[in-house]
């Protein structure tokens, strides 16, 4: 695939913490970790999606002004950022595995509408749904 969405960014409160979470707990890989002065371009990748990168960015000046950065940090911490979905083959198995690694689940696996879904948050407050792929 050569055309399509390549990077979608998340706001996180701390890039080191987010990196540890997405790599060590969720099993993503680092794609790019580049610095330019104080700015850090950090993206991770799901092992099955070599074309797609999830960016882990902190809201900070001068990319946005200080007041806006503060507001964005508050919004992330309140869990008000848009929904994220991680599709897995087996939701209950993934739930057990991730929970054992210390992932903060907000909803245990529930079977409904021909699938199973659970919910968790990253350390910053971004909410993920863990949804079992329909077979």
Partner 1 sequence: MSQDPELLRRLLRAKDRMDAASHEEWPVRRLARVSGVSKAHFARSFKEAFGIPPHRYLLTRRIERAKTLLRETDLSITKIAFQTGWRSLGTFGRTFCDVTGESPGAIRAREKAAPHDPQRVPACFLRAAQRPDLTIAVSEKRRQAAVDTKGSEGKEIL
Q: How far apart are the first and last CA of the chain?
A: 24
Return the number of the residue (17 or 23) whose C-beta is nearest partner 1: 17
Q: Which residues of the shown chain bind partner 1 in the complex (CB under 8 A)?
A: 13, 70-71, 73-74, 76-79, 83, 85, 104, 106-108, 112-114, 117, 119, 121, 124-125, 129, 131
The least distance separating partner 1 from the CB of residue 82, rounded to whole angstroms, comes to: 10
- What does DSSP assign to residue 4? S
Neighbours of 12 (CB within 10 A): 25
- Residue 3: what are its φ and ψ, rounded to 5°? -125, 150
Quick one: which of 105, 94, 100, 99 has its CA closest to 128? 105
CB of 126 to partner 1, least distance (A): 11
Burial readout 53-67 (b: 16 or more C-beta within 10 A, e: otherwise) = bbbbbbbbeeeeeee
* Nearer of residues 42 and 122 to partner 1, judged by Cβ: 122
Q: Which is nearer to partner 1, 32 or 71 (CB)?
A: 71
State the minimum distance, in angstroms, from the CB of residue 114 to partner 1. 8
Write down the least CB distance from residue 34 to partner 1, Å: 26
């Amino acid at each position: 695939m050569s055309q399509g969405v390549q990077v979608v960014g998340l706001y996180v409160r701390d890039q080191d913490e987010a990196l540890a979470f997405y790599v060590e707990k969720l099993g993503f890989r680092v794609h790019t970790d580049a610095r330019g002065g104080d700015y850090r371009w950090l993206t991770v990748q799901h092992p099955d999606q070599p074309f797609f990168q999830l960016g882990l960015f902190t809201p900070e000046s001068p990319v946005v002004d200080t007041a806006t950065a503060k507001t964005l940090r508050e919004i992330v911490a309140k869990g008000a950022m848009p929904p994220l979905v991680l599709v897995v083959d087996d939701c209950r198995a993934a739930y057990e595995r991730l929970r054992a690694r210390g992932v903060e689940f907000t909803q245990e696996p529930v079977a409904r509408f021909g699938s199973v879904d659970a919910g968790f948050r990253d350390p910053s407050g971004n909410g993920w749904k863990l949804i079992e792929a329909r077979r």
